[in-house]
Structure 1
Amino acid sequence: MTGSAVVAVVANPTSGRGKGAKLIPKVDALLRSLDVSHTLVICEGPDDPERLARDAVERGADIVAALGGDGQVGACANGVIGTGATLAVIPAGTGNDFARHLGLDRKDPLAATRLLADPPIRKIDVVRIVTPQHERYFVNVGGAGFDSEVNEHANKVRRLSGTAKYVYSTFVTLARFAADDFTVTVDGRSHPFRGMMLAVGNASSYGGGMLVCPDARSDDGLLDVCVIQELPKWQFVKTFPKVFKGRHVEHPAVTMLQGREISISAGRPFQVYADGEAVGTLPATFTVLPSALPVVAPPVEGAR
């Protein structure tokens, strides 16, 4: 794709505790200086990103640039998938895990913006998730159990941001969390266990750098599954810091699985989260769609 591509920036001004609002005029000015044909649309409500992304493509946008955090990226991806348009990421959230996965500098959103002048394109896998309430797509990490309850708590925290918010929510949630009976079925093979959570990774990290599925790639046609079985809370606290380097997988209570279709059920209807947003309750089925989404990203070898 050449620099003649038409770009629609779908911006969330509330992302990153107001970072998005400050970034919007800078991105607009930079694109003008680079002579990039673009439009700028501002989200005002939670249903806007997907709708505005889809509308932008229908009006002729070749690239939809999601300005915001991982939730904004996931919502815009749902508006773009299947249209033939390309998704770009301008990181402006608190975690920006998917930007990191794509090889973008998550702390320099203007560097990501400059790529739009001559965008490098590669295709990534996406994940279709089906719950009793919804059918959605996601690009990063989804899951249920302990991590989904952490996400639910983190979304209500306003005085912290980024990694600190998720670490705080982890320990608040741990104090009241009880393990349950889960069954995860990977490509038709069932694995029952009593445990705390499952995370399904198209990419490797969430929560501002927690490498929950450290070997996950979004270009291999496979999903990585992190299963954490029941363990004493003191062991969880001791092991938790290792997730930032992906070394939690060394613990005997952690099992990593891989497959193309993953189904999860549990003794109670845990909320399911994907790309940081609630998408329904268990049971849920996750299916990988290989090379389904073109993205603007540098050709980073082995990007995670």
Structure 2
Amino acid sequence: MIMRSRMVRRSGRGAGAPVSCSQRLAASVALLASAAVVVVLIARLIDRPIALPVSVVAVTITLMAGWAALVGRGPRRLGAAVLAVCTLGALIAFAGVIGLATLLVTAGLLVASGIAARGAFGRHRPRGRQVGAARHGVLVVNPRSGGGAAGRHQLAQAALRRGIEVVTLTEHADLRSLAEDAADRGADVVGMAGGDGSQAVVADVARQRGMAFVCVPAGTRNHFALDLGLDRRDVVGALDAFDLAVEQRVDLGQLGDRVFVNNVSLGVYADIVQSDSYRDAKVPTAAARLPDLLGADRAAPDLRFTGPDGHTGSTADVLLVSNNAYQLHSLGGFGTRPHLDSGRLGVTTLCVDRARDLPALVALESMGAISRFRGFQQWTSPTLRIDSARPVSVGVDGEALCLPPPLELRSLPAAVRVRIPVHAPGVPPARPGLWGMFPALVRIVAGRSPA
């Protein structure tokens, strides 16, 4: 079998959706406002050889950090916000030199640039064909997922008010059988309210039985819902997909006879997934466990596969195979996928020289900048085979398993019809790092994806 691979840029970001005219205009405003700040400072401090460069540097850092804080998420957003506040504070302390009027104009332009930058990154609205309401919609609810999210949001009651049949997953019931039974009873649309592992099972039944699928984010992290463009906080609102909706075909991934919607993790990362603290604190857990799992006394995982250069026998300390490529910033937090319809698996590997790489790896993981690590590599491929001399520990959509080799993975292109509410916010944009904000805005102005 010939496996053709395509390299993904080192940052791990794939091509996103087309950039709208409003996004291009917002990016232009952000850049023009930032340029105006520099012009104002030069005009005011042209005769101050020390104050001018200090002010320009402070403004530049404030701009970059402010953009990143407004666009980013999680720890990176917090870190950028702190940096922006500190550098802005330095400018305010410098007010006696640059003058109060100049300071106020500078602050106003900085705010305008930040607001415009946030608008430039926008969200990619769900694309697909408009479809009518379900004739016979069935929602399967896992009441234990997400710490009881379905119960907190009174999801079953809301579904019944909409005329949606509700099936509750009890402790000893088989999820696949419940979804298949819904198909046997004439359901044309089936939904799953639960975690990503449950989403995969029901989506696979929908694929096999010709039903449309609805994802209701009632799990813990709901990564699949995020990449579909759903608002993960609006659990009840996801039920609107049973009514007038946007329908699109998305890919699924397959490991042996098991389907996954997000990813399969192997090597060191599979051990991290099995940590008790992982579910509630992914990034800190990953950063904390890496030194032990990659210590000099720990043997490298026995994972053999074909790399992007076609070389058979490649290996890695971390191997992540995903349903479409991730924009990856950290091992613990994962990233986002700009699309779910490329028909290819995303493959991410991490090779670590234990004697010298570990401090840099832990630092970059903690900063959410793992893609800058020198042993980081990404590519895409429709299939991947993984060999090993022993059973392989894997995490499949976060579920820890141990499977016999070889592992055969493949993409199932356009496998399932997914219905998205017409009011869904859309897929999050690519979020570049602090120093990637300016080039990203320039690309948006040029009408290209920011990543």
With normalisation by structure 2, the TM-score equals 0.57
Residues 161 and 82 (structure 1 numbering): CA distance in 2 closer, same or farther, change over 3 Å?
Answer: same
Mapped pair 1:107 → 2:233 = yes
Distance in 2 between residues matched to 1:289 and 1:277, nearest whole Å: 20
Distance in 2 between residues matched to 1:207 and 1:55, nearest whole Å: 38
User: What is the aligned partner in structure 2 of residue 168 from structure 1?
Assistant: 285
Mapped pair 1:224 → 2:346 = yes
Unpaired runs of at least 5, structure 1: none
Distance in 1 between residues matched to 2:266 and 2:346, nearest whole Å: 14
Question: Please, which of 240, 253, 257 is the counterpart of residue 127 of structure 1?
Answer: 253
Distance in 1 between residues matched to 2:152 and 2:322, nearest whole Å: 31
User: What is the aligned partner in structure 2 of residue 146 from structure 1?
Assistant: 268
User: What is the aligned partner in structure 2 of residue 30 from structure 1?
Assistant: 158
Q: Give the letter for the 1:28 counterpart.
A: A
User: What is the aligned partner in structure 1 of residue 321 from structure 2?
Assistant: 200
Cα-to-partner distance string for 1:236-272 (whole Å, 9 max, x where unaligned): 31121354xxx42222111101111111224543222
User: What is the aligned partner in structure 2 of residue 288 from structure 1?
Assistant: 411
Distance in 2 between residues matched to 1:254 and 1:184, nearest whole Å: 16
Cα-to-partner distance string for 1:199-253 (whole Å, 9 max, x where unaligned): 1111437988422xx556320111110001124432331121354xxx4222211
- Cα pair 1:221 1:288 within 8 Å, conserved: yes
Aligned residues between the structures: 286
Unpaired runs of at least 5, structure 2: 1-130, 431-451
* SS in structure 2 at match of 1:106: coil
Cα-to-partner distance string for 1:1-36 (whole Å, 9 max, x where unaligned): 31143211111111112223333xx22333344xx4
User: What is the aligned partner in structure 1 of residue 28 from structure 2?
Assistant: none
- Cα pair 1:104 1:112 within 8 Å, conserved: yes
Residues 252 and 207 (structure 1 numbering): CA distance in 2 closer, same or farther, change over 3 Å?
Answer: closer
* SS in structure 2 at match of 1:50: helix
- Cα pair 1:13 1:42 within 8 Å, conserved: yes
Mapped pair 1:8 → 2:138 = yes
User: Counting helix residues as a fraction of each chain, which structure ranks higher?
Assistant: 2
Distance in 2 between residues matched to 1:208 and 1:65, nearest whole Å: 28
Aligned Cα root-mean-square deviation (Å): 2.9
Q: Give the letter for the 2:263 counterpart.
A: V
Cα-to-partner distance string for 1:80-115 (whole Å, 9 max, x where unaligned): 222111221111111111110100011211121223
User: What is the aligned partner in structure 2 of residue 269 from structure 1?
Assistant: 391
Question: Please, which of 254, 258, 262 is the counterpart of residue 136 of structure 1?
Answer: 258
- Cα pair 1:81 1:292 within 8 Å, conserved: yes
* SS in structure 2 at match of 1:81: helix
Distance in 1 between residues matched to 2:214 and 2:401, nearest whole Å: 22
Give aligned-pair identity as a percent.
25
C-alpha displacement of 1:303: 7.5
User: What is the aligned partner in structure 1 of residue 60 from structure 2?
Assistant: none
C-alpha displacement of 1:126: 1.1
Residues 43 and 183 (structure 1 numbering): CA distance in 2 closer, same or farther, change over 3 Å?
Answer: same
Mapped pair 1:50 → 2:50 = no
Distance in 2 between residues matched to 1:126 and 1:239, nearest whole Å: 30
Larger radius of gyration: 2
Distance in 1 between residues matched to 2:261 and 2:246, nearest whole Å: 18
User: Counting strand residues as a fraction of each chain, which structure ranks higher?
Assistant: 1
C-alpha displacement of 1:52: 1.1
Distance in 2 between residues matched to 1:175 and 1:117, nearest whole Å: 50
Task: Spell out structure 1 runs of 4+ moving beyond 4 A.
Answer: 205-209, 298-304
Q: Give the letter for the 1:255 counterpart.
A: Q
